[in-house]
Amino acid sequence: MSDITLTTAVLLCLAAALAGWIDAVVGGGGLLLLPALLLGLPDSPPTYALGTNKAVAVTGTSIAAVTYARKAPLDRALALRLGGLALLSAAGGALFASAVEKEALQPLIMVVLLGVAAFVVLRPRFGLADEGAGPPPSVARRVGALLLVGVGIGFYDGLIGPGTGTFLVIGLVGLLRMSMLRATATAKIVNVGTNLGALAVFAGHGTVLWQLAPAMALFNMAGGWTGARMALRRGSGFVRIVLLVVVVALVGRLAYDQWWG
């Protein structure tokens, strides 16, 4: 922590607040928070950015999950089953995270960022329309959701993480035909599980910067609470635009840091 300036700490706290807000409304707060940590902690191994990211994100995600659970339509039994699977899978992914080099992580994050941006652009109604109409999902779709959302995305979140909230929403809408509001509410509960599973592993390995994480967590909680209330009240149209702007800016910054910085 001695090499982290006050300016860097303040900027990381502001990034945590914005990440909590984005994650609560449309998912994908890690698309902002993890790159910010990688850029703010250039001399630290990437596992410290991953571990600190989880310690911060679990607080904002938990606040958002509680807010949604109180006011949004939600199948709590399904959400808890998915969350339990995701917790175990994320812990498994985190066990492999120490093998990921920063030089390989940044290009991978850029690919994920561009993929999310392309999806949002190509699906202009994503986050706006109620896609929950239609017949109930088949047994195959339910099993697919457990495998993709609970196991696959959970493992990805423990290993890397950025975009998990958005991927969860996409999977729940596509496989289970949930409305956007219900998918977002369910994704928050699942995301709490993935964050807890990964955090347990990172904390056990001592790769969480506890001197920095509490302050960032407070800002993340404030952003998550504000974002969840805004989503319930106004929808996600404006946030889609913000998410695209943030994604493009981060891709540019990471590309500069990777090849020209």
How many Å apart are CA 172 and CA 189, to the nearest integer? 12
Instruction: Output the pLDDT for position 235.
Output: 63
Instruction: Output the pLDDT for position 102.
Output: 62
Task: Quote the number of domains for the chain.
Answer: 1
Q: Looking at the domain assignment, is residue 242 inside a domain?
A: yes
Q: Looking at the domain assignment, is residue 206 inside a domain?
A: yes
Q: CA distances (Å), 145 to each of 85, 92, 133, 179, in order? A: 11, 19, 17, 15
Q: Looking at the domain assignment, is residue 149 inside a domain?
A: yes
Six-digit token string for 124: 């202009």
Instruction: Output the pLDDT for position 51.
Output: 93
Instruction: Output the pLDDT for position 14.
Output: 96
CA 223 to chain centre: 13
For 195, counting Cβ atoms within 10 Å of its Cβ (0-12 exposed, 13-18 middle, 19+ buried), the class is buried
Six-digit token string for 121: 């652009």
How many Å apart are CA 236 and CA 247, to the nearest integer? 16
Instruction: Output the pLDDT for position 62.
Output: 93
Instruction: Output the pLDDT for position 1.
Output: 47
pTM, rounded to two decimals: 0.80
Tell me the three state secondary structure of residue 126. coil
The closest alpha carbon to 196, from 47, 41, 85, 112, belongs to 85
Q: Looking at the domain assignment, is residue 192 inside a domain?
A: yes
Structural domain span for residue 56: 6-260
Instruction: Output the pLDDT for position 132.
Output: 47
**Which segments of the chain have a pLDDT < 50?**
1-2, 131-132
Q: Looking at the domain assignment, is residue 168 inside a domain?
A: yes
How many Å apart are CA 51 and CA 206, to the nearest integer? 9
Q: Looking at the domain assignment, is residue 183 inside a domain?
A: yes
How many Å apart are CA 185 and CA 67, to the nearest integer? 9
How many Å apart are CA 255 and CA 258, to the nearest integer? 5
Q: Looking at the domain assignment, is residue 1 inside a domain?
A: no
Instruction: Output the pLDDT for position 110.
Output: 78
Instruction: Output the pLDDT for position 15.
Output: 94
Q: Name 4's Cβ contacts closer than 8 Å, sequence gap at least 6.
A: 40, 41, 212
